[in-house]
Structure 1
Amino acid sequence: MASSLLARNVVRSAHALPTLRVLSTSSVLRKDFVQELYLKELKNYKAPLAAQDAHVSAVKPLVVPSAPTPPSFPSSSELASELKAYESSQPTLADAAPVSTSSSESAAGAQAFLQFLEQDLPKEEAHH
């Protein structure tokens, strides 16, 4: 008897599945009109056809540059003549900077500077 009662409960529970109810606060779904309009226009868009020779104005023709010419080196006779001309020329004194101080003044100034460096520094009291 217990087994038949158990069998009836299983059959009832299989037939009596809970039903789901969908609760909605609004009966009409609100659509996004901007999105709908955008999708409609996107589907209707046709890309303009490109002309067959459109690439001609965008691409320059290839022009291979001419081969560079090797540098020309002076001959040994030209080098010898330039070297002789350089050796025979006298240097100009206009390029040299004039020295305004005499050697005794600069030696005295250097000696004074060295004495200044050798002086003992005054001792400062520590501040606490």
Structure 2
Amino acid sequence: MKFLRQAINGVRSARSFSSSAVSRKDFIQDLYVKELKSYKAPPPAKDAHVGAVKQYTIPPAPKAPSLPSDVAAELNAYDASEPSKDAAPKAAATTTTETAGEGAETFLAFLEKDEPKAEAHH
């Protein structure tokens, strides 16, 4: 037990005696900071930007829109290019034979109708 106390006291005394970080100097850090402070960047060359920056040119002014000289011919050409109502596809207009010609009430009644029960297999 006595040996244990001496060992603990020895450790405590060793911990209390340490060198101060302030008294130790880091010569490498001091040299690095001194070199950083003394560094001067070289002056830029006069033509350093040549080749790295494109010359700016103003884009040409847009033209003002103009009316066509022959409006009637333009309208006729548009009417000719527009598809007629008779040529519309009829696939969208087809419906099933059950609901064709029936109203919404008949359709809702069809939906509310009970499903036929499946026959039980014995």
Q: TM-score when scaled to structure 2?
A: 0.50
Query: How much is the aligned-residue C-alpha RMSD, in angstroms?
Result: 3.7
Tell me the residue number matched to 2:11.
none
How many Å separate the matches in 2 of 1:79 and 1:31? 90
Alignment of 1:35-54 (within 5 A): 35-54=29-48
Fraction of identical pairs, as percent: 43
Point out where structure 2 has 5 or more consecutive residues left out of the alignment.
1-17, 115-122
Aligned-partner residue type, residue 57 of structure 2:
V
Matching of residue 101 in structure 1 with residue 96 in structure 2: yes
Per residue, is there more helix in 1 or in 2?
A: 1
- The structure number with the bigger radius of gyration is 1
Equivalents in 1 of 2:77, 2:60: separation in Å?
A: 33
Per chain length, whose mean CA-contact separation is higher, i.e. which structure has more relative contact order (CA < 8 Å, sep 6+)? 2
Correspondence 1:32 to 2:32: no
Alpha-carbon distance in structure 2 between the residues aligned to 1:44 and 1:113: 90
Stretches of structure 1 that go unaligned for 5 or more consecutive residues are: 1-24, 117-128
1:50 Cα deviation after fit:
1.6
d(CA) in 1 for partners of 2:24, 2:82? 101
Alpha-carbon spacing, 1:49–1:29, altered in 2? closer, same or farther (3 Å): same
What is the deviation of 1:39?
1.6
The TM-score with structure 1 as length reference comes to 0.49
SS at match of 2:51: helix
**Paired residues, number:** 90
